[in-house]
Structure 1
């Protein structure tokens, strides 16, 4: 009787092979003779590891072998099954007009993760949006072909509180995610047009928008800056090692993640310059903290000139810091068992900075923290007549429009304008 052919997308029987590790070489396969295992010379040998393998017939009809090792049979089997599950995971080629939105969400997420074109923090935000809003939302059980501009608009509108305007940020991110999902569906001929692009943008009530914008905007006064910096340098806060970091944020306007990822090799103390951007500290699930070569925008690489006071502080810090295996300028504080040799976590450091503000008696606008130094730098530079392009370069914005929208007040007329009129 002919052996039954493996169905496409399935695998055959799983076999196990005993292995003996050899120093500096590939593991040796052991032959089973009766109840014992023997090496190639026929001598009895005890297995050091096991190899689980099987033949897989992929969806293109071709048969391929998949194998994984483990210290025990159970571990080898678990590794093999995990590899098979990953190999047989749905691909974007499986997207059809009848695909459910909840399934499209998983396919798009896998596609984005494989592409590796967005930062870890952006991936976290996308996952959160999918899990919190889209997959359990009203669109989830609809087929891709059943989604239109109206249903998208209604879904996004439902994320915003009509009275307070809360949820504007969630709706904006959800729109971005949905647009990406349906772009993938369009590329796979599941639908002809992207309904998200056709949907009207959802707007919060004017009063709510004004209130939210008022809460978000703001900058520190000179007296507030002095109070915060003095508090960070006080004996009660010295062990937290925040004074130099706050001086650096106040003197450059960089993002907190950029500052915590800064290494000494990108600081030129002789020229009083620092290379910023392209690196930030992120927390990766299962790995911990790491410096990643991604920034908040596409034009974040820039060289900044340090104010004399900041350059002086960094010079003192470099001399007194001692051994620093990671080479970062602002590692964890040198207390406890860590000894100041690990990366600082952005959220935890931001919480500590908020506590410094509280101790200094400075009230923070809602949702603000270390980023308030960045707002202050942008606002002050514009108020002093620094060209918008230079301010945009200092802050690492992709376009001057971002700088103008965030920091330039339309109620304040520039002196340069008066001189030309």
Structure 2
């Protein structure tokens, strides 16, 4: 009578051979395609070799061994497999760029050679603490999210029994201290005047850009993505449709949606901003290249927001404001709206914030409030004072 075949996903009897410090454990394993294949593992002792083979059989049972991912797969391969799907998701190009950077700069170089079954909570914890010590909590928090996604992907394929990153210590990113800094109306007018005398800023086409950002509260990337087709000089409106970002391997592109859904907005411009666009920008529209950009490079192409941000910083230094960045213009717009009695909802709509709380907490400069305390506390004065 013929020997009955092994059941799918089971191993036969283990045979161990060897001597001294070289032992080999072997067995037959019937794979999920019905084919019986030989398995073997080595060890420095007889029991060690047998134990290693049993672990290999255990891990092989968890997943289809013909699949790419199994417990013996290195994390670098798992990461690339996860990335293949994530890169096709509807996440923003900026998010994809940041996640890819964390894979290439931290995760794959540090833990890429670790196999799925070897990544423990302790190993993940040590990796994250090392990243935090070198790069700070903000970058580490992103690296933790990416590694957690990779491990969740492995767990869904049974290459891991669980996601060990979820049990690592939480990473706290402390908010920046200090109240939001904003310029006064007089301060903005002075800034606008100063930068017109800055020959470097004028050569870099910065003064008009500062004017439009101060008139709208747009982000640098949004202003650089502005096209004449989105400007209606007669209706005095400008439509925010996207933002300029840099994609690795593709260069500068206009991301066809702003930072958030609330970023889609049509803004009404003040009269002085219409004058800037009509008299100083629109007359040269024919020289602005095929893209029809309001603020193009010298050759009519997109400008890098990061470079332009540094150029605006240089202009601020020239104007005697070395501690400020371009973001102060957004905070100034929000604060001036608040001081004019407009609501936080209106300010959030102007800036393109999805949450009003973001505008209130981060963009409104704190006002000096007459709470009535001063008058009530007059009673504490000495009578003869």
On whether the aligned pair clears a TM of 0.5, the verdict is yes
Report matched runs for 1:107-146 at 5 Å: 107-113=81-87, 115-137=88-110, 139-146=111-118
Query: Residues 379-400 of structure 1, C-alpha deviation per residue, up to 9 Å, x if partnerless?
Result: 4434544322222222222322
Written as runs of structure 1 = structure 2, the 5 A alignment for 1:271-286 is 271-277=235-241, 279-286=242-249
CA offset at residue 259 of structure 1?
0.7
Residue in 1 aligned with 2:348?
A: 392
Answering whether residue 223 of structure 2 is matched by residue 254 of structure 1, we say: no
Q: Is the CA contact 2:216–2:267 (under 8 Å) kept in the aligned structure 1?
A: yes
Tell me if the contact between 1:385 and 1:414 (Cα under 8 Å) persists in the aligned partners: no
Alignment-derived partner of residue 171 in structure 2:
202
Which residue in 2 is equivalent to 1:9? none
Distance 2:98 2:109 in 1: 16
Displacement of 1:357 after TM fit?
0.9
What is the aligned counterpart of 1:328 among 289, 293, 298?
293
Confirm or deny that 1:168 pairs with 2:133.
Answer: no
> 1:254 Cα deviation (Å)?
1.1
- CA pair 355-105 structure 1, distance change in 2 beyond 3 A: same
> Which runs of 5 or more residues in structure 2 are unaligned?
1-32, 34-66, 372-385
Long gaps (5+) in structure 1: 1-59, 61-92, 416-421
Instruction: Measure the CA separation in 1 of the matches of 2:218 and 2:364.
Output: 18
Please give the root-mean-square deviation of Cα atoms over the aligned residues, in Å: 3.1
> Structure 1 pair 308/112, CA: closer, same or farther in 2 (3 Å)?
same
Residue pairs, 1:7-406, within 5 angstroms: 94-113=68-87, 115-137=88-110, 139-161=111-133, 167-203=136-172, 209=174, 212-214=176-178, 217-234=180-197, 236=199, 237-277=201-241, 279-323=242-286, 324=288, 325-333=290-298, 338=299, 341-365=300-324, 369-406=325-362
Structure 1 counterpart SS, 2:109: coil
Q: 1:226 to 1:171 in 2, by over 3 A?
A: same
Q: Counterparts of 2:137 and 2:318 in 1: how far apart (Å)?
A: 32
By how many angstroms is 1:150 displaced? 4.7
**Alignment length (residue pairs):** 304
1:317 shift after superposition: 3.5
8 Å contact from structure 2 (residues 192, 210) kept in 1: yes
Task: Find the aligned partners of 1:185 and 1:262 in 2 and give their Cα distance.
Answer: 42
- How far the C-alpha of 1:346 sits from its partner, in A, is 1.3
On the 8 A contact 1:256/1:346 being kept in 2, the answer is: yes
Alignment partners' CA distance in 2, 1:254 and 1:326:
20
Q: Distance in 2 between matches of 1:181 and 1:220?
A: 44
**CA separation in 2, counterparts of 1:385 and 1:375?**
16
Cα pair distance change 1:392/1:150, threshold 3 Å: farther
- Counterpart of 2:64 in structure 1 is none
Contact preservation (8 Å) 1:228, 1:356: no
The 3 A distance-change label for structure 1 pair 145 and 271 is: farther
Which residue pairs with 2:49 in the alignment? Answer: none
Q: Secondary structure at the match of 1:281?
A: strand
The structure with the largest alpha-carbon Rg is: 2
- Whole-angstrom CA distance in 2 between matches of 1:109 and 1:143: 17
TM-score (norm 1): 0.63
Q: Counterparts of 1:232 and 1:191 in 2: how far apart (Å)?
A: 58
Shift of residue 131 of structure 1? 1.9
Cα separation, 2, equivalents of 1:387 and 1:185: 48
The answer to whether the 8 A contact 2:185-2:336 is kept is no
Distance 1:154 1:298, change over 3 A: farther
Higher helix share: 2
